Chains A and B, each alone.
Chain A
Amino acid sequence: MGYLIARRILAGIPTLLGVTLVVFLILRLVPGDPVAGLLSGGPATPELVAGLRAQFGLDQPLPVQYLSFLGDALQGDLGTSYATGQSVTSMISGQLLPTVQLAFAAALLSTVAGIGLGVLAAAVRNSFTDGLIRVFSVLGTAMPTFWIGLMLILVVSFQFRMLPATGSDGFQRLILPAVALAVPAIGVMTRLVRANVLEVLGENFVTALHAKGLSYRTILLRHVLRNAVLPAVTVAGLQIGGLLAGAVVVETVFARQGLGNLILQAITRNDYPVLQGVVIVIGALVVLVNIVVDLVYGAVDPRIRSSLAGR
């Protein structure tokens, strides 16, 4: 198991390096100059501009900039914000928790609801309930999260006054954003689980279980469920990346604290260090979550476990 973990972590390193390179290049390729933005308040003399550029290291050739950024990042220093002068590491660590909370709440919700709805739909396949669930899952996948968020605020907060529309403190304020973020993921998960359950129901061993005299309920909930949910675990892990990205949008809609707020301000100001930092941290989180998912998969599926142990 330790060998497996080490191998997965090593495999994550090139991924993260790729992420840093891509985000570094893209930021510098898109139009817009961070220094010009900073000086928009007063007269921008050539001397001032040159001074700031030298201070931020922007006068160096790109490879040099990249390597020095990489070297600092390896030591845990993601640079200093152009706009606020604060350390990026501390800016991110102050905003990371609410975003991670939101993303994981949505991941949990989409996994639980997706599995539940998927199994239910498969169990009563081709019935009215199945049709309803399928329509919901297609709609859910098709609706953008910001729109779902706005609708939830409109109906739940303003119409029924059940839950607060904005803010980030407490469990109550987590519910609506998490639901808004989870709906498309629930749609994907439901469809996947439904298809998996139907596939497993057609397997030989299910007929054999019927021949054993087990009840349909036992077969479905004990044997089919476990076999059908396994592939869904991988997809749940892959969705975390999308959910973290989606959290950024949803946070803006619900005026929540978090990385979304941070990244939005950084984009408007071309604040390279902050943008790079946030993207790298999210990238690292995604890699980490997928390592965990692989380990969980190994724990649930003995076939994977023994094939990995054999290596």
Chain B
Amino acid sequence: MRAQRRKGPASAVVDGVSFSLNRGETTCVVGESGSGKSVTARAIMGLTRLEPALSVSGEIWFDGKPLHQMDNPSVARLRGRDIAMVFQEPMSSLDPLFTVGSQLTESLRRRHGKLPNQNLRTRLLALLSDVGIPDGERVLRSRPHELSGGMCQRVMIAAALAGEPDLLIADEPTTALDVTVQAGILALLERIRTERGMAVLLVTHDMGVAAEVADQVLVMYSGRIVENASADEVFESPRHPYTAGLLSCVPALEGEKPSVLPTIPGSMPSPEQRPPGCAFHPRCARSADRCSTETPLQTQKPGLEYACWNPIEPTFLPMPTADVPTHTAQAPKEDAR
């Protein structure tokens, strides 16, 4: 996948991003603001088509269907039914003028069409109790401004579930919420993923969130995936120096407290200012000559991909073949399942 602004410099916002999602698993996309994680998430749903300034190329396969070849109405038919999305700011993601009940009904109709009133009511209440809202009757009559942020996010999740999707994309679903509410929402997402066996793509900038729920972690930096591996691999032995840097910035709850939190020096370049070679090399302690001239390719091992010329070797394993990585050309195929 490649996303590029139509006007201005020809530098891609997102470039060479390729990954696949598995049913029943939570995949976290982690990265700083501007790393392209949201654009990637929106592109899967075809929401980037609504932004005239953005041009997305590449392939998106969903359940054997090539989404990138479909026209807008066909993609719109998948939205809300097969792929659903939850957004960062729940308070502003609901129409302020309509009741929760009527907005949830719109979502239910995506899968079930028109329902008789009694049936509809039962289903609406079931949906709300499923996302942990006990007084459904009141919430159905409420409008978004009468609800708290956490409550709105639960309603958004209920709306997403109404279409019984196979893939749920959650774009920073807890960022705008209080910490205590965050935990509840994450637990809710985990519970419904297990119950319904759907795939969850969770976009977050918070390594802590990823550590809690991820089966698979995609680390993005300046529009590229720098590491894509199972959660165990990423958190136990990160290969990419950027991933390692991100992890070291998370303050530990136990042990000796450092007087100054470690940080990665410098800041992420914008797409226009992206340096040649590896975009991370100016900030990287392990950078070599090659890093500033050649863009690293995604090194693939089963369950482990990273884009680095000089990866961190896992300390607990001997890695005899580490200097002969198997290169694959930029995978043209994109599998969203």
A residues bordering B, Cβ < 8 Å? 203-205, 207-215, 223, 226-227, 230, 300-303, 306
Contacts and interface: CB of A to CB of B under 8 A. Distances in A.
Nearest to A226: B97
B149 to A, nearest CB: 13
B93 interface: yes
Interface string B66-93: 0000000100111111001101010011
Contacts of A209: 95
Interface string B131-170: 0000000000001011000000000100100010000000
A169 to B, nearest CB: 42
B33 to A, nearest CB: 17
Given A209-B95, A306-B145, 4 more contacts: A205-B92, A211-B84, A215-B73, A215-B76
B153 to A, nearest CB: 12
B98 A213 contact: no
A211 B79 contact: yes
B76 A227 contact: no
A203 B84 contact: no
23 contacts: A205-B92, A207-B50, A207-B93, A208-B85, A208-B93, A210-B76, A211-B45, A211-B47, A211-B79, A211-B85, A212-B84, A212-B106, A213-B77, A213-B79, A214-B76, A214-B106, A215-B73, A226-B97, A300-B97, A301-B97, A302-B96, A302-B143, A303-B145
B96 A303 contact: yes
Nearest to A207: B47
Contacts of A306: 145-146
Contacts of A213: 76-81, 110, 163
A302 B93 CA distance: 17
Interface of B: 45, 47, 50, 73, 76-81, 84-85, 87, 89, 92-98, 106-107, 110, 143, 145-146, 156, 159, 163
A205 B94 CA distance: 5
A303 B95 contact: no
A213 B84 CA distance: 9
Given A223-B95, A227-B97, A303-B145, A208 B79 contact: no
Nearest to B102: A222
Given A213-B81, A302-B143, A306-B145, A223 B163 contact: no
A205 B95 contact: yes
Contacts of B45: 211
Per CB-CB distance, the 3 closest pairs between chain A and chain B, nearest first, are A213-B80, A213-B79, A211-B85
B80 A223 contact: no
User: Which of A203, A213, A227 lies at the interface centre, i.e. has the most chain B CB atoms within 10 A of its CB?
Assistant: A213
User: Which of B47, B95, B163 lies at the interface centre, i.e. has the most chain A CB atoms within 10 A of its CB?
Assistant: B95
A212 B97 CA distance: 17
A210 B97 contact: no
Nearest to A306: B146
A58 B79 CA distance: 77
A213 B50 CA distance: 13
A128 to B, nearest CB: 17
A223 B97 CA distance: 8
Nearest to A201: B50
Contacts of A223: 95, 97-98
Contacts of A207: 47, 50, 87, 93
Contact of B87 (A208, A214, A215, A230): A208
Given A212-B159, A213-B79, A303-B143, A227 B95 contact: yes
Contacts of A303: 96, 143, 145
Contacts of B156: 208
B80 A208 contact: no
B290 to A, nearest CB: 41
A204 B110 contact: no
Contacts of B94: 205, 208
Given A227-B96, A302-B143, A302-B145, A212 B107 contact: yes
A205 B91 CA distance: 9
